[in-house]
Amino acid sequence: MSKIGLLVCGNSGIDYEKVDYPFKVIHSQLIIDNKAYEDYVDITAEEFYQKIEVNPDVPLSTAQAATGEFIKALEELKAEGYQEIIVITISSKLSGTYQNAVLAKEMVDDVKIYVVDSLSVSYGQMILVKETIKLIKAGKSGKEIEEVLLKTRENIFVYVLVDTLKFLVKNGRLSAASGALGSLLRIKPLLHINRIGQLVPFEKIRTSSKARKRLLEIAFKEIDEGVEEFFLAYTNNKEYVEEIKKDINKQHPNLKIHLCPLTPVVGAHAGPGTCGFGFLKKK
């Protein structure tokens, strides 16, 4: 049986989770006022959201992990005796991280590497990480694990409720004109990750109260149809998201709901006040 290594991009939020298997993580960079930070190493999610609450107009950008960083991590895993390596990245439609991982794979010899595009983000990726660990412990090969992950990702769904259009506009997700209009009309965009891994509009909602109500409606419908895992993601609004969790558990008291922070790199695009939920649909 091969010794299988695990390499995960930090957009999954893996640093903030308890993981019962050795792994390496590749972080994207967060640039705040021309100073670069490595997520979790130089700045935590909580620290990041505190910074932009204090100064919401601070210059903010991100940079994906370079191919060289993936090569270094893969070579380290190979040197540690891993004969096969599973790499799980953020959706290729949200970042160039996946492509850099694929390029790195071609430059590392004498080890089998399987690069999996999660077509997701945040805990949507973590669902695949957890599945990978379960399969490794069950003695599956790298190829068998890859095949299962590609099927599993088809049943992972993520919805995102954005509090302000400002950060979407700043990062080129919406035009400035549509952003101004959205602010004027107090639109709260409800987005989702589609089947090819793009973050796209799902509905436009006028007020925060209506947005929360609609979020719950969608969640209840999906839970009623059957989910294996369910998670809620938060930015600087953990208490608000905990209230949503309570609302869901009132109707579904036996449903285990995992709470997770959006990493600073993901939050830099979504903005403070963003929250969301996701799930693994029952097969």
Please check whether residues 57 and 135 belong to one and the same domain: yes
Q: What share of the chain in percent tops pLDDT 70?
A: 93
Please check whether residues 43 and 147 belong to one and the same domain: yes
pLDDT of residue 177: 45
Please check whether residues 47 and 113 belong to one and the same domain: yes
Query: pLDDT averaged over the chain?
Result: 91
Domain final residue pick, 154, 169, 200: 154
Q: What sign for the dihedral angle of Cα 237, 180, 264, 279?
A: positive
Please check whether residues 123 and 9 belong to one and the same domain: yes
Please check whether residues 115 and 146 belong to one and the same domain: yes
CB 145 within 8 A of CB 136: yes
Q: For 16-37, how does the pLDDT look when each residue is reduced to its tens digit (9 = 90+)?
A: 999 999 999 999 999 999 999 9
Q: For 193-249, how does the pLDDT look when each residue is reduced to its tens digit (9 = 90+)?
A: 999 999 888 888 888 888 889 999 999 999 999 999 999 999 999 999 999 999 999
Q: Name the domain count of the chain.
A: 2
Confidence of residue 75 (pLDDT cuts 50, 70, 90): very high
Instruction: Give dist(CA 123, CA 238) in Å, integer.
Output: 15
pLDDT of residue 212: 86
pLDDT of residue 163: 80
Q: What sign for the dihedral angle of Cα 80, 81, 87, 88?
A: negative
Q: For 96-116, how does the pLDDT look when each residue is reduced to its tens digit (9 = 90+)?
A: 999 999 999 999 999 999 999
Instruction: Encode burial over 53-91: b for 16+ CB neighbours within 10 A, e otherwise.
Output: eeeeeeebebebbbbebbbebbeebbeeebebbbbbbbb
Q: What length is written for the chain?
A: 283
Which CATH number goes with the domain that contains 269? 3.30.1180.10
Please check whether residues 58 and 171 belong to one and the same domain: no
Domain final residue pick, 154, 174, 204: 154
pLDDT of residue 175: 47
Q: For 153-180, how does the pLDDT look when each residue is reduced to its tens digit (9 = 90+)?
A: 999 999 999 887 677 666 655 544 455 5
Q: Kindly compute the dihedral angle of the four CA atoms of residues 73, 10, 53, 169, in this order, to the nearest 10 degrees.
A: 100
Residue 187: exposure state from Cβ atoms within 10 A (0-12, 13-18, ≥19): buried
* Amino acid in the structure at residue 151: K
Confidence of residue 184 (pLDDT cuts 50, 70, 90): very low
- For 55, the domain range is 4-154
Spell out the alpha helix ranges (H) of 80-141. Answer: 97-106, 123-137
Please check whether residues 150 and 203 belong to one and the same domain: no
Please check whether residues 190 and 99 belong to one and the same domain: no
Q: What are phi and psi of 87, to 5 degrees?
A: -115, 125
Please check whether residues 202 and 237 belong to one and the same domain: yes
Please check whether residues 150 and 166 belong to one and the same domain: no
